[in-house]
Chain A
Amino acid sequence: QKEVEQNSGPLSVPEGAIASLNCTYSDRVSQSFFWYRQYSGKSPELIMSIYSNGDKEDGRFTAQLNKASQYVSLLIRDSQPSDSATYLCAVRKTSGSRLTFGEGTQLTVNP
């Protein structure tokens, strides 16, 4: 079992729709969770971090964490073509430890 698993994708949504990206992790002791966006040929860019159960909203982005289900998701409201990228879920077990990345989900927002 992979430590961090994401939807295999690719995911395609029309402009203005809600894009939903999912991620599960295997280690229950994981404490910190991150979503990164990576455009083709570029390095990852941090979008959201979440540390406690529930929702965290930042503009059009909402991260949701459910530690009991070992599940973290990212919702993108009012999707724009500029949101088209690969989204990487990353998990950190304890303070100071390394990030473990999922394989990423490629999102395409169609005009």
Chain B
Amino acid sequence: GAVVSQHPSRVICKSGTSVKIECRSLDFQATTMFWYRQFPKQSLMLMATSNEGSKATYEQGVEKDKFLINHASLTLSTLTVTSAHPEDSSFYICSARDTGDTEAFFGQGTRLTVV
């Protein structure tokens, strides 16, 4: 399958700081990228969808000014958690897809801990 690389895999940051998570498609052009958050024992919750070159579409209840998404190229999308707080601690996962009906592939995930 296609490879999606997400970095870092684990990060600990202080409350009030910002953290950037990168998601790269290594062997295909990611027309669309999805960002998910997963709390323990829960399923994936879609945060936002981004198409290359366009502004991200955020799901209801997700603060766009807190979770900044950039998808400036066909191989890279970033999620920046701004002014992080302990309640933002979670497992963040990106997913990338080429064209419309192709399968989406997941990155390895980023475990964010805000202390």
A60 at the B interface (CB under 8 A):
no
| A42 CB within 8 Å of chain B | yes
Cross-chain contact B107 with A102 (CB below 8 angstroms): no
What's the least CB distance linking B4 to chain A, in Å?
Answer: 9
Stretch from A16-24, A43-51, A68-76 at the B interface = A43-51
Q: Are A42 and B101 in contact (CB under 8 A)?
A: no
Q: Are A98 and B106 in contact, with the CB atoms below 8 A?
A: no
Chain A interface residue bracket vs B: 10 to 19
Pairwise interchain contact B44-A95, C-beta atoms closer than 8 A: no
Pair B42/A43 contact, Cβ less than 8 Å: no
Known contacts A32-B101, A46-B1; decide if A88 and B43 are in contact (CB<8 Å): yes
Q: Which of A80-111 contact B (CB under 8 A)?
A: 88, 95-96, 98-99, 101-104
Question: Which residues of A lie under 8 Å from residue B107 when comparing CB positions?
Answer: 43
Docked-complex contact A88 and B44, CB < 8 angstroms: yes
Q: Kindly state whether residue B63 has any CB partner on chain A within 8 Å.
A: no
Residues of B within 8 A of A44 (CB): 44, 93, 106
Give 12 CB contacts A-B under 8 Å.
A32-B101, A34-B103, A41-B111, A42-B109, A43-B6, A44-B106, A45-B106, A88-B44, A95-B100, A96-B99, A98-B46, A99-B95
